[in-house]
A and B are shown apart, each in its own frame.
Chain A
Amino acid sequence: MPINTDSDKTFELYETSSSFLEMWVRLKRNKLAILGLFLVVSLVLVALFAEVIAPYDPVQIALKNSLEEPNSAHLMGTDVLGRDIFSRIIYGARASLIIGVVATSISLVIGVTIGAISGYYGGWLDALMMRITDIFFAFPFFLLAIAIMTFLGASFINIFIALGIVGWTNYARLVRGQVISVKESEYVEAARAVGAKDARIILKHILPNTLTPVIVYTTMNIGVVILAEAGLSFLGIGVRPPSPSWGLMLAEGKDFLFNASWLVIWPGIAIFLTVLGYNLLGEGLRDALDPRLKP
């Protein structure tokens, strides 16, 4: 009669556990990835509960409090219009998160669609789509975003469009490579043999197997987009004043760098910690989702 020991129970749990649980167990062992997760979750919570956390209205002008150093009333000081820096940082998190997620989503949808179609069908369609990809790749990422924003004009929607459009090429190349390696698999052949349509094969059989690199890249890309938005806002072609945006805060603060450096230090730290969080989490997910680590 078999004895049900602890090691047997563990083995049983391990055998029946989901891939998500396996991924989580591996991720938990990576301290830097957990730090990244903490930073990202903190950003999301700050963005969601900005009204509760922020002590002041971020756009409320109070000239009598202009350029106050950090103190008990204003933890990070005030800017030239007397607005509380801490509150603007909090609300800026919301703008950054929305722009990061929406623009990345646009890049993902465009890039995955083009990459999947290109990789699956091959031939002249693949050649045409890859030439279009090459054209977009030929522009330095930030330069193209600047050019698009200059011509479209500064607004939230235009930021989504600009950063979404310039970012799709990496997704397309990533997914195309994955699709090419997966499309000749036996299960895909089997699906074709039973009469499944191309769209169904791509959506149900091929794309789910390309998810791992897409998830990793998406996580890190959100950080890149947030950095790009900060740059665009700094140049005056991103988020428009008086909406709080970290890049805009840096632009407004740069003229006071030498006598009110807090105007520049805090938004920069906010951007740095946010992007660091996404990069650490992305690196951690890459290690945790690596199939070579599976037994």
Chain B
Amino acid sequence: MISFIIRRILQLIPVILGISMVTLLMMSFVPGDPVALMLGQHISPQTVENVRQELGLDQPLLTRYLQYMWNALHGDFGRSYIQHQEVTQMLLDRLPVTFRLAVVALTFALTFGVLIGILSAVKQYSFWDSFATLFVLVGVSIPTFWLGMMLQLVFGVILHILPVSGIGGEGLHLQYYILPGFALGFASMTMYARLTRSSMLEVLRADYIRTARAKGLAKRVVVFKHAMKNALIPVATQAGMDFSSLMGGAILTETIFSLPGIGSMLFNAISRRDYPVVQGVTLFLALVFVVINLLVDISYAVLDPRIRYD
């Protein structure tokens, strides 16, 4: 087991180096001079040059990359051009909102997705199966940001039962996360419905399930006590990877619902061409994605010993 973990971590190192290189390289594609863009017009060339030296942007690319990586290892992702704040601090301030949103989204996705998947598998070829098929097809085709706006219109404006923007001030106000969480989790819901259905169908055909039925056990007991826990193993591992995707994919949802998370911070940075923030957030979210995937792989190896010897 230890050798599996060490092997996976070692495989991760070139990926992390590659991610950081790609992220830094993107900065070099900015059209024009980023320092001149930051300082604006009517600034003397000498001032521009002084700021360039201060930021280390006059150094060769390799030197800048090594400096950036050294700083990143110490938790320093650079400084915002616009807000003049450390990107790391800005990330930490906004991380709780994005984290909560991802948790709510995943909860919706798993609850409804698994339920629909189980119903669809247990009642194959029935109305529930057709509903699940339609649900999956519709779900993967709806733009998340449009769904968010429609939810705002229906539940916020027409029905007046849920808040449509913000987080409700200090403290945790869960009702503000319901609509954005549902919108963000909807696409994942359809994926879990499909995954649960196919996994459940496979498990329901297994010999031990046939034995359970032959013993005369109630259908409810067969499905929930015997079949479900094995059918949900792939769902559980997918959920781990999905969590990091949800965090990285929240930019549109946070923008629409005016949630002060990492996603809306990224949106503001894009609009203002605040490249260090875009770079820092991209690198941070990619690293979160990679680390969570590693943890999911390790947990999968714990659950299924065959994986360790792959």
What residues make up the interface of A, taking CB atoms closer than 8 Å to B? 32, 131-132, 134-136, 138-140, 142-144, 146-148, 150-153, 223, 227, 230-231, 234-237, 250, 254, 257-258, 261, 264-265, 267-268, 271-273, 275-276, 279-280, 283
Residue contact B266 to A131, C-beta cutoff 8 Å: no
Q: How far is the CA of A148 from the CA of B31 in the complex (A)?
A: 12
B261-299 interface with A by 8 A CB criterion:
266-267, 270-271, 273, 275, 278-279, 282, 285-286, 289-290
25 A–B contacts, CB within 8 A, in A order: A131-B15, A134-B15, A134-B18, A135-B14, A135-B18, A135-B22, A139-B19, A140-B249, A140-B285, A142-B248, A150-B278, A151-B275, A152-B31, A235-B255, A235-B267, A236-B270, A250-B146, A257-B152, A258-B157, A264-B153, A265-B150, A273-B141, A276-B138, A276-B141, A279-B141
Q: How far is the CA of A237 from the CA of B271 in the complex (A)?
A: 8
Taking the nearest CB of chain B, how far is it from the CB of A80, in angstroms?
Answer: 16
Provide the residues of chain B in CB contact with A273, threshold 8 Å.
Answer: 141
Provide the residues of chain B in CB contact with A258, threshold 8 Å.
Answer: 153, 157
Residue contact B15 to A143, C-beta cutoff 8 Å: no
Q: Which residue of A lies closest to B31 (CB)?
A: A153
**Known contacts A131-B18, A146-B266, A271-B146: does B141 contact A151 (CB below 8 Å)?**
no
Residue contact A131 to B150, C-beta cutoff 8 Å: no
Residue contact B270 to A231, C-beta cutoff 8 Å: no
Task: Say which size band chain B's interface belongs to.
Answer: 35 or more
Q: How far is the CA of A146 from the CA of B279 in the complex (A)?
A: 11
Q: Which residue of A lies closest to B152 (CB)?
A: A257
Is B206 engaged at the interface, CB distance under 8 Å to the other chain? no
Q: Which residue of A lies closest to B16 (CB)?
A: A138
Top 6 closest A-B pairs, CB basis? A135-B18, A268-B146, A140-B248, A276-B141, A275-B141, A151-B26
Residue contact A257 to B138, C-beta cutoff 8 Å: no
Provide the residues of chain A in CB contact with B271, threshold 8 Å.
Answer: 236
Residue contact B15 to A138, C-beta cutoff 8 Å: yes
- 8 Å CB contact of A272 from B30, B142, B248: B142
Provide the residues of chain A in CB contact with B266, threshold 8 Å.
Answer: 146
